[in-house]
Structure 1
Amino acid sequence: MDKKTACAHIPEPSEFEYNTRDAIIYALGVGARAKEDLCYVYENAMDFKVLPSFIVAPGFQAHTLMDWPGVEFDLQKVLHGEQYIEVLHPLPAEGKLKSEARVVDILDKGSGALILGNVTTYDENGKKVAVQQFSTFQTGYGNFGGDRTSPHEFKAATVPDRAPDAVIEQKTSVDQAALYRLGSGDMNPLHVDPQFAKMSGFKTPILHGLCSLGFSTRHVIAAWAGNDSDKFKAMKVRFSSPVLPGQTLVTETWKTGNRIVFQMKVKETGKIVISNAYVDLTEASELPTVPTDLASKL
């Protein structure tokens, strides 16, 4: 890893054009359903909205490390470590976006290198609409003498030491990853190709971490923002363990003012898959509202 070269590289901005169909396919890919989420899956709904986490699609397109100068990249050894998303303005139903990607730091974690990549996205009028940070862990590329921490890193949350204030549960489809890759543009074969998954050290294809993030975004907005995604400000998650398509996701949430701290577990195994996470809202409800179909059975 060559941190100086990587941080100095300035790629051409990435252009991303989408319409309501793209936003709907993404919403379906992160578990939205017509019964509870008509505003995300029906373009003629009076309150049609684009899920704020859809911003990962243009961000992912811009944040391509495969040919990035100074970065040693191996698709079979890459893991998505953490993700930060800040949406400054609600995304329009359709539009043209331009994203600028930068590597801001490379950390030496011993067993691998953690690459911090920031993506800033603008609309076609040049207005800044979102800021993201992708934390990408490249296994086997550590011990290069770099720093272990960075002032550029968006910090994770601490989960309160008490019972959750609201718990949301939803089963994923066995085809969840196959659908999500179409809506997000993340075509990594790890999530659909059994042979590639085995070469990467997994028994079967795993769900995209950003797909689990999308589920958790929906869950928090439904429970604590009256399903009004315009109240979304920012979020940070840490990916702790993989999810298999078909498993049940359980999102445990704690209200701390307008910040909803959460973690996500797999019901069938009890493993935490997203940890030390939060969503910041412009205004959080005093009490949660959990749709009947998403109420926890725990």
Structure 2
Amino acid sequence: MKNFLTLQSVETVLGHLRALPVLPAETVPLTDALGRRLAEALHAPADLPGFDRSTVDGFAVRARDVFGAQEGSPALLECVGDCPMGAVPDISLQPGQCARILTGGMLPEGADCVVMVEYSRPAGGNMVELTRTQAPGDHVVMRDEDAAAGDCIIPAGRKLRPQEIGLLASFGQKDVAVRRAPRVAIISTGDEVVPIGSEPRPGQVRDVNSYSLAALCRSAGAEPTLAGLVRDDAEALRRTVLAALDEADVVVVSGGSSAGMRDHTVDVFTSVPGSELLTHGVAISPGKPFILARSGGKCLMGLPGHVSSALVCAHAF
């Protein structure tokens, strides 16, 4: 019987993984960047949204002009015009003046808040009664509220979600530098494992791990390849692993990771030229016989053959 190495903690194994080199960068269209890792930190090239804008329909005012306003004692202001959408207002509010504004409109010079239209009523001519006290900044997105010029708004390595894609679009980033998607080769092993299109005989099981692991890889932003189903044969497994290493950044072998006579994964990994065994055994359950090795900048992972154990290890590491 082979012996496990000393069981390592999950955090120790994650430390080994963090020490692996990152993949090279490539530039892709923003439409293809979802789920990719940002290669370089993004700093805001300008303030966002870049102007003070209203979040409601109503009247742009000076907060001091509506101080104390209420239903029975409204503030009486002169409406001196409208704030056009998508343009700079040509109005500068003076004491006692207001301007009509729509959601998303730019505040005119002199205004510092907005009173919702629900709290207004006409008072004849250009005069408007406003029945709600407001503080400076009420119902307003300030010019640098989303981002201030020079701020780091997306750190390097962040996985780009829909909200980051939108943020990049708001700064006009049609293309973005991301890390190349990892290429993962998945190999299943076991004399008892048969292709999913086969009818298992007594004692046999279909190859579940190749497909569940590929789905997990794909959900994490990787490009998985099913690299074969190998019997419990050390030389056959070694040939398959070496061939997979020619194309993949990560080679995952499910099955054969324990210490029995038919468990060849650790010996195959250590036979790869220039390889270094980092972990054989981790303090996790299920998944104790997890194997981690590296060959240059490439990663070799040995997962237990049991479906639950394989998925737990793959999810954790």
TM band (smaller chain): under 0.3
TM-score (norm 1): 0.22
TM-score (norm 2): 0.21
**RCO comparison, higher one (Cα < 8 Å, 6+):** 2
Higher radius of gyration, 1 or 2: 2
